[in-house]
Structure 1
């Protein structure tokens, strides 16, 4: 193959890659809630959002989304979770947790997050510790029983805290994914067959 033909092929490959990424983003977001239901935004709303907002923030549920609790009570990363968090960190994409814990664990999110860290770390298994530092102050927990998920309060609080940034929420349960979509998050149900374990990092970057 001559040099000119090679360059043309390279340009065509790049164009195809961009088109594929756009198509995958459309399919991924619209199908984030099973059957495309639950308020998952369509491509039109995503396109508007991309133009209006930057700095995506990716929020997660914790249990059975990022970590798994074994029958013996030990806790470890779910398959692929550690490398996924690492990839987000390397691209300077901020992350957060929206997770239920007993309100009695503290009077502030920081206090409840500290208790959560203590509880998880006490039974942690695996070659690397959980990446608590990556979450900064973005660990949202219920202040009362009424705020426990699937009530929308925690997602709304995270939205206020994140300013104008585009928000993603990833969890293993259909109900939580639907609620997140209903309040404006790009939702993604993790661990589904025939779909990446987590929303691909490249697609998260497109949102910003």
Structure 2
């Protein structure tokens, strides 16, 4: 394991330990507040109450985190991804995407997201469509090629629009995990042996109620 990978795993381990130690505090907190998206920056309408009621936003990379593109060009959910998104939806935990696409795909996030949906949909395989509605307008894409990950710009934009909610980022690459963690996200590397495929939802709920 390289040094960067070790740092990423240490950050996750420390975060898991802090969250576990806060179980008693979290147990006395109210349920996480359901929230809806509003505006182009992904600001949450319920986040003005976040400090009192607790909230978290879970951002994902897309390719090889939630979906896989096969050699024949077809695309489908990675194992467990659809079920994981469904549980987050049922628990009223907001989700978003932080993903690289060509900046030339549109003049703003909405236009680039529309092109992304079209590209993914063209090769989609399987009976369960991708849950685009879950992400609302929280699909952040590079406005310029200089903003492409692992540059920190997209994570910083997501953080600025979070309304003070706790932030989680899940992806398959160590470099992205390290960048997100350096900005204050609980960053989790997916697809690792002997670990859950995704960050456990119960832990995200606890994280939402940790003292700020």
Higher helix share: 1
Q: Provide Cα deviations, 1:51-102, integer angstroms capped at 9, x if missing partner.
A: 9952110000000000000000000000000000000000000000000000
Distance 1:72 1:37 in 2: 33
Where does residue 100 of structure 2 map in the other structure?
Answer: 100
- 1:164 matched to which residue of 2? 164
Distance 2:124 2:8 in 1: 36
Q: Deviation of residue 37 (structure 1)?
A: 4.1
In 1, distance between residues paired with 2:169 and 2:153?
14
- Structure 1, 52-61 or 106-115: larger mean CA deviation: 52-61
State the SS of the aligned residue for 1:180. helix
Q: Is the 8 A contact 2:59 2:95 kept in 1?
A: yes
Structure 2 residue aligned with 1:194: 194
Tell me the number of residue pairs that the alignment of Structure 1 and Structure 2 aligns: 175
> CA shift at 1:38, angstroms?
7.8
Unaligned regions of 5+ residues in structure 2, if any? 30-49
Rounded Cα–Cα distance in structure 1 between residues aligned with 2:127 and 2:173: 27
Residue 6 of structure 2 is aligned to residue 35 of structure 1 = yes
The question of whether the paired residues in 2 share the 8 Å contact of 1:68 and 1:76 is answered with yes
Q: Using a 3 Å threshold, how does the CA distance of structure 1 residues 173 and 202 change in structure 2: closer, same or farther? A: same
- Give the Cα separation in 1 of the matches to 2:181 and 2:66: 19
Write out the 4+ residue segments of structure 1 that deviate beyond 2 Å after TM superposition: 33-48, 50-54
In structure 2, the residue matched to 1:117 is 117
1:64–1:78 contact (8 Å) kept in structure 2: yes
Alignment check: 8 A CA contact 2:68 2:75 kept: yes
- Quickly say closer, same or farther: Cα 1:82–1:38, change in 2 above 3 A: closer
Partners in 1 of 2:193 and 2:11 — Cα distance? 19
- Aligned residue for 2:76, secondary structure, equals strand
In the alignment, the residues of structure 1 paired with residue 128 and residue 146 of structure 2 have an alpha-carbon distance, to the nearest angstrom, of 35
Which residue in 2 is equivalent to 1:136? 136
Residue in structure 1 matched with residue 33 of structure 2 by the alignment: none
Larger Rg: 1
TM-score (norm 1): 0.78
Residue 81 (str. 1) matches residue 81 (str. 2):
yes
| Equivalent residue number for residue 153 of structure 1 | 153
- Alpha-carbon contact 1:39-1:182 (below 8 Å) kept: no
Q: Give TM-score scaled by structure 2 length.
A: 0.77
Aligned match of 2:38: none
Q: What are the superposed Cα offsets for residues 114-172 of structure 1, whole Å, 9 maximum, x if unpaired?
A: 00000000110011100000001100000000000000000000001112000000000
Q: Over aligned residues, Cα RMSD in angstroms?
A: 2.2
